[in-house]
């Protein structure tokens, strides 16, 4: 006979649920992750080894041929090089501009809050909108850029910014720098504000010059945030696609194909899905190697 006030006795299933309650709570999230990420990833790995092409019937096993097609494709190799050049150039310029703006914004002056609010506005704009805006600004003959340059230089400027080399690359870098320099600025400003002000006061009392203070105090203490900002921004920059899709469409010809645009064209325009999937895995391996190098460098800076 059960004593009055005693807790009810659980069944075998109820007892198991009670013991594993914390795992049952996270089980739906785990199943969702497996369904939406792990399964597609494994399926893409299978696709890269078979013939999954809308133009060729059947799904025969082809081994490493899809990877070979990507490796020997000169367009793919050029797209990878262009990705490295564009992303590296953009991140470097964004870092220098972001650091300069952050150093200026460290000083208190009237209207500082308003200026900072305006500076971070590009971060909230879609890259597609940014690409469309720069297309309207640079496109001949309707864009105002050539007219403004002609007025400033006193000579007729007829640059085709979106179809001529090297101007097309400069246009893409300019659009990327305009949108993502505020990202660098925000992170570096946060790093600058975390530096103890008594270090600068001591340096001022010792009569240390501005450049020496920057190289001896600011830069060493800011280096972890610099590596963090560059790492995050570079990982995003190598996926450059939106602005190229809007501004140049990969043209002229294949001159502005980045790795992402190349994979998109092969997979969703030419419907060579197996080749595009194999290229995606190769790009993933290269990206993972870059990530490992950057993270190791970042951890080394933090230990110092």
Domain chopping of the chain, boundaries: 65-303
Q: Is the Cβ–Cβ distance between 250 and 74 less than 8 Å?
A: no
pLDDT at 304 over 60: no
Beta bridge partner(s), residue 142: none
pLDDT at 3 over 60: no
Beta bridge partner(s), residue 50: 61
The token pair at 15 is 């007892």
65-303, which class in CATH? mainly alpha
Kindly list the distances between the CA atom of residue 185 and the CA atoms of 118, 188, 210, in Å, as whole numbers in the listed order.
Answer: 12, 5, 20
Q: Looking at the chain, how many residues does it have?
A: 304
d(CA 166, CA 130): 20
Share of the chain above pLDDT 70, in %: 94
d(CA 226, CA 298): 9
Give me the mean pLDDT over the 273-298 stretch. 88
Q: Is the Cβ–Cβ distance between 176 and 243 less than 8 Å?
A: yes
Share of the chain above pLDDT 90, in %: 42
User: Using 50, 70 and 90 to split pLDDT, how confident is the model at 303?
Assistant: low
User: Using 50, 70 and 90 to split pLDDT, how confident is the model at 255?
Assistant: very high
d(CA 220, CA 213): 10
| Per-residue pLDDT tens digits for 106-148 | 888 888 888 888 999 999 999 999 999 999 999 887 889 998 9
DSSP 74-112: HHHHHHHHHHHHHHHHHHHHHHHHHHHHHHHHTS--TTH
Beta bridge partner(s), residue 61: 50
Q: Report residue 37: phi and psi, to 5°.
A: -130, -55
What is the model's pTM?
0.85
Give me the mean pLDDT over the 245-265 stretch. 92
pLDDT at 244 over 80: yes
The token pair at 289 is 């190697």
Beta bridge partner(s), residue 235: none
């Amino acid at each position: 006979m059960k004593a009055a006030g005693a807790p009810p006795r659980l069944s075998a299933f109820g007892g198991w649920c009670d013991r594993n309650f914390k795992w049952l709570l996270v089980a739906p999230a785990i199943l969702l992750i497996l369904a939406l990420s792990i399964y597609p990833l494994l399926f893409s790995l299978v696709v890269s080894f078979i013939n999954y092409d809308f133009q060729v019937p059947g799904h025969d096993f082809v081994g490493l041929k899809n990877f070979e097609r990507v490796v020997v494709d000169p367009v793919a190799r050029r797209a990878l090089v262009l990705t490295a050049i564009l992303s590296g150039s953009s991140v470097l310029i964004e870092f220098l501009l972001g650091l300069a703006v952050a150093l200026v914004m460290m000083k208190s002056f009237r209207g500082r809050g308003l200026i900072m609010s305006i500076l971070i506005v590009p971060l909230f704009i879609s890259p597609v909108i940014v690409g469309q805006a720069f297309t309207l600004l640079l496109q001949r003959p309707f864009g105002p850029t050539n007219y403004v340059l002609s007025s400033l230089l006193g000579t007729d400027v007829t640059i085709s910014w979106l179809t001529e080399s090297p101007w097309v690359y400069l246009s893409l870098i300019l659009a990327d720098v305009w949108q993502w320099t505020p990202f660098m600025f925000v992170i570096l400003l946060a790093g600058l504000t975390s530096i103890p002000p008594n270090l600068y006061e001591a340096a001022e009392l010792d009569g240390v010059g501005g450049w020496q203070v920057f190289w001896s105090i600011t830069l060493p203490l800011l280096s972890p945030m610099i590596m963090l900002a560059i790492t995050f921004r570079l990982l995003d920059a190598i996926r450059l696609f939106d602005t190229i899709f809007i501004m140049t469409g990969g043209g002229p010809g294949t001159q502005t194909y980045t790795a992402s645009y190349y994979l998109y064209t092969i997979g969703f325009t030419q419907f060579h899905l197996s080749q595009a999937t194999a290229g995606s895995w190769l790009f993933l391996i290269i990206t993972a190697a870059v990530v490992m190098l950057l993270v190791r460098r970042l951890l080394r800076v933090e230990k110092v």
